[in-house]
Amino acid sequence: MGYEPKKNLEEFNKSMVDIRKTIPNEYNAFIHEKTEIIKSGKVPEKTKWLLLLVASLAQKCPICVSRAVQHCLQAGWTKEEILEASMVAVLVGGSSVMTYVTLVDKAVEEFK
């Protein structure tokens, strides 16, 4: 399979530079909203990244999966915890989501 988490994120980030330049107000509004939602409140930021991973899997977004795995590892989640949480997405999205759990496994190995 041709999934390279670090390379995919680098390419995505390069593409976002043009979008940021073209529509800076909208881009910055999105980033501000994301920052506000992710920061710790009643739910710790660490947990929010794990929730984002589950949502990314259920939505089948490989770029989102890479980014969420990267942040989950930085927040201190273990491979076992990350994969266990990933299985919740399989319950939500069905067996086709299991193919995306393999992306999680690969991303964990690449980012740790």
CB 92 within 8 A of CB 51: no
Please give the chain's pLDDT, 112 residues, in tens: 578 999 999 999 999 999 999 999 999 999 999 999 999 999 999 999 999 999 999 999 999 999 999 999 999 999 999 999 999 999 999 999 999 999 999 999 999 8
What's residue 47's pLDDT?
98
What's residue 18's pLDDT?
93
101: how many CB neighbours lie within 10 A of its CB? 17
Q: What sections of the chain are H helices per DSSP?
A: 5-22, 24-38, 45-59, 62-75, 79-93, 98-111
Residues 6 or more apart whose CB falls under 8 angstroms from that of 36 comprise none
Domains of the chain (ranges; CATH) run 5-111 (1.20.1290.10)
What's residue 44's pLDDT?
98
